[in-house]
Homo-oligomer: A and B are copies of this chain.
Amino acid sequence: MNDQKITTSVLPGFMELLPADQIRFDRMKAVIEETYRSFGFLPLDTPAIERSEVLLSKAGGETEKQIYRFTKGDNDLSLRFDLTVPLARYVSEHANDLNFPFRRYHIAKVYRGEKPQKGRFREFYQCDIDVVGRERLGLAYDAELLAVIYRTFSALQLPKFVIRISNRKLLVGLLESIGLSDKAEEAMRIIDKMDKVSLVETKESLKDIGLKDDKIKLLLDFVGIKGEPKTVLDSLAGLKIENRLFTEGLAELSEVILQVAAFDLPVSCYGIDLAIARGLDYYTGTVYETILLDYPKLGSICSGGRYDSLASNYGGQALPGVGISIGLSRLFYQLRELGLLTLAETVYAKALVIPFDMAAMPAALAISMRLREAGIAVETYLEEAKFKNKLSYANKSGVKYAVIIGEDEVKGNFFTVKDMESGEQEKLNAEDLVGKLGE
C-alpha cells in the first residue's frame, strides 16, 4: 500500500448505481429471470473470459475492434462481447450431456470497448434465451419466444409495447427475385434504419447504392405492407413472387403466426413488420424486434431471431436455434431517463429496528431476529448515536417503518412502530408486529 491519491471515479462508459437504483435494477433482472424460468429455460453461467480465437471466429470488424483482449501466460484471451458465442462453445463442448432441444437462459455481463456515449455502456447486462436443436428445430419454438417476450415485458410493467416479427427470407428472397442479391446486405442495412430517418432519405440511400426507381418502389411497397398478421400474409401471397427463399419465408412466418395463436396473447402486442431486417446479425429466418409504442426513439428493446446453425465452425452437426436478447443496462438507463421505472422498491428491509439507547439493544436484536425468522427482512441500527441521527438514518434509507425500542417498550414488552411517510405511530406487541410487517 502507498499513500498517493488515486482517481476514484468509475471508468468512463461503465455503469455504476447507487443502492436504491441498484435494487430497482436487480428487481428488473429478477423479473426477467423468473419469467425465463417460468418457461422451463435452464441457467448457464460461462466464464467472462474466453480464448480469443473462440470469440474472434464469430466477431465482425467493429466487434473485433471493441474487444478487450489480453494475454496471460501463453494464453491469448478476451472478454466476451455477447452470450451467443459462449453458448456455441458450451453446446459444442457439452453436447453429449445436454438434453435437446436445449433451452437455456443466460443473464450476465458482456464487454464492448465502444466510444462512450449516452446510454451506451462498455460493460452491460444481456438477458438471453436460446433454444438449440440437434439437426432440426420446429417453428413452434419461434412462436413460443413471442410469448416469452410478451410475458417478460408485461411482468416488467413496461408501457405499451409491440413485438414486431418478420422472416428474413422474405426480404432476401424478394431482393433475389428482382436481381439485387449483390445489394442485399447494403439494402437491408438501409431498411433497418428506415424508422430512424425520413422516407426521402431512405429513397436517397437506396439510390446511392445503385437501385433503380422501379425497384425502390417495389421494395418500399413490400416493407410498407401493414395490417393484421392474416392480412399481411395474404398480401404477401398475393405478390406471387416466384423465389424459393421468399416462398420458404412466407410458409415459415405463416406457421409461426398460426402457432402463436394458441398462446392466447393480446393481438395488440405483436404484429408483422416486414421492415425488420437485422442486417448486421446472423439470423436466417424469423426475426424479432420489440418497440415501446410511445417511445419509438429507444429503438428495439428486445431483438432476436432464428439461425441455421449455432456453431458451424466448431465442426459436428448442424445446431439450428432461435433466441432473443434484452440489453438490460441500456434499457434500465433509458427507462430511468424517461421516468418510466415502474418497479418501485428501493430498499429490501421492511423496517429499521432502532434501540433508543444501548440498554435497549438486546431487545432490538431479539425482535430483529424474530422478524427474520418470520421471513421479514429488517435492519437493526447498531451504532451508538443520538436518537435524532438514528431517525435521520431511517429517513435516508427509505424504509417504510421504524420500530423503536426504548425503556418503556422494554419494560412494557411492546414496540413503537412509526410509519416513516405519514409519521403515524402505534404500539404493538411482538406478535402483532410480525403480523403488520409481514403483510
- Chain A interface size band reads 35 or more
Q: A40-B379, A262-B362 are in contact. Are A11 and B313 (CB under 8 A)?
A: no
Point out the residues of chain B lying under 8 angstroms from A46, CB to CB.
Answer: 10, 16
Please determine whether A383 and B70 come into contact, CB atoms closer than 8 angstroms. no
Point out the residues of chain B lying under 8 angstroms from A264, CB to CB.
Answer: 365-366, 369
Please determine whether B11 and A77 come into contact, CB atoms closer than 8 angstroms. yes
Please determine whether A312 and B3 come into contact, CB atoms closer than 8 angstroms. yes
Report if A183 contacts B (CB, 8 A): no
Q: Which of B44, B69, B93, B382 is A70 in contact with, Cβ under 8 Å?
A: B69
Q: How far is the CA of A50 from the CA of B10 in the complex (A)?
A: 8
Report if A205 contacts B (CB, 8 A): no
Contact with B along A23-51 (1 / 0, CB 8 A): 10110000000000111111111111111
Report if A7 contacts B (CB, 8 A): yes
Q: How far is the CA of A5 from the CA of B58 in the complex (A)?
A: 12
Please determine whether A47 and B383 come into contact, CB atoms closer than 8 angstroms. no
Report if A339 contacts B (CB, 8 A): no
Report if A429 contacts B (CB, 8 A): no
Question: A64 to nearest B CB, angstroms?
Answer: 12
Point out the residues of chain B lying under 8 angstroms from A18, CB to CB.
Answer: 94, 97-98
Please determine whether B42 and A7 come into contact, CB atoms closer than 8 angstroms. no
Q: Which of B39, B44, B383 is A22 in contact with, Cβ under 8 Å?
A: B44
Please determine whether A57 and B1 come into contact, CB atoms closer than 8 angstroms. yes
Question: A162 to nearest B CB, angstroms?
Answer: 19
Please determine whether A47 and B377 come into contact, CB atoms closer than 8 angstroms. no
Q: Across the A-B interface, give the 5 residue pairs with the lowest CB-CB distance, nearest first.
A: A40-B379, A70-B70, A40-B349, A140-B382, A262-B362
